[in-house]
Amino acid sequence: MRRSLIVGSLGLLLWGGAAHAVSDPSELLSNPTQEARAEAIGQQLRCLVCQNESIEASDAGLAKDIRALIRQQVVAGRTDRQIIASMVRRYGNFILLKPPFDALTALLWASPVVALLAGAIAAFLGLRRQRRRVAPPPLSPAERAQLDRLMRP
């Protein structure tokens, strides 16, 4: 009994792990090689609706449309590089799950470090300014007498 439960659980895990969002069989290409290429390309592209899923794993309508575009281009004989480049031209680098490292992405990755450094510098300068405060000069005899008069009951 226990063994069949374990085997059944493993089967469900393996079966569930291989699932794709392509739920409509008409969406699949009849040529298995072309379908594998289309799926490989789709795994590299981000769903613009879900944002943390590939278009192959997403059920969103836009992901389905992009999958159809990719499959049309695969059937038309375009290379993987050409298909991905056309998607980047159309949707920008954001569609790539692994965008290229350039000046903009460097700035994006460096911004938390820059913000922390700016905060540390501001805190250091604030503490330094606070330490530099000079004690007020002592009261003159006239001021001392006036203070004594004000403090008497």
| Rounded alpha-carbon distances, angstroms, from residue 32 to 15, 39, 78 | 20, 10, 16
Express each pLDDT in 25-55 by its tens digit: 667 888 889 999 999 999 999 998 987 899 9
Q: Looking at residue 134, what DSSP letter applies?
A: P
Q: What is the average pLDDT across 109-137?
A: 86
What is d(CA 67, CA 130) in angstroms, rounded to the nearest whole number? Answer: 61
Confidence of residue 94 (pLDDT cuts 50, 70, 90): confident
Q: Going by C-beta distance under 8 Å and a sequence separation of 6 or more, which residues neighbour residue 94? A: 46, 48
Express each pLDDT in 53-92 by its tens digit: 999 999 899 999 999 999 999 999 999 999 999 999 999 9
Q: What is the average pLDDT across 2-14?
A: 50
| Side-chain half-sphere CA neighbours of 87 within 13 A | 34
pLDDT of residue 109: 83
Domains of the chain, by residue range, sit at 2-95, 103-151
pLDDT at 106 over 70: yes
Which range, of 10-24, 25-39, 87-101, averages the lowest pLDDT?
10-24
Q: Which residue has the higher pLDDT, 124 or 15?
A: 124
Would you say domain 2-95 falls under CATH 1.10.8.640?
Answer: yes
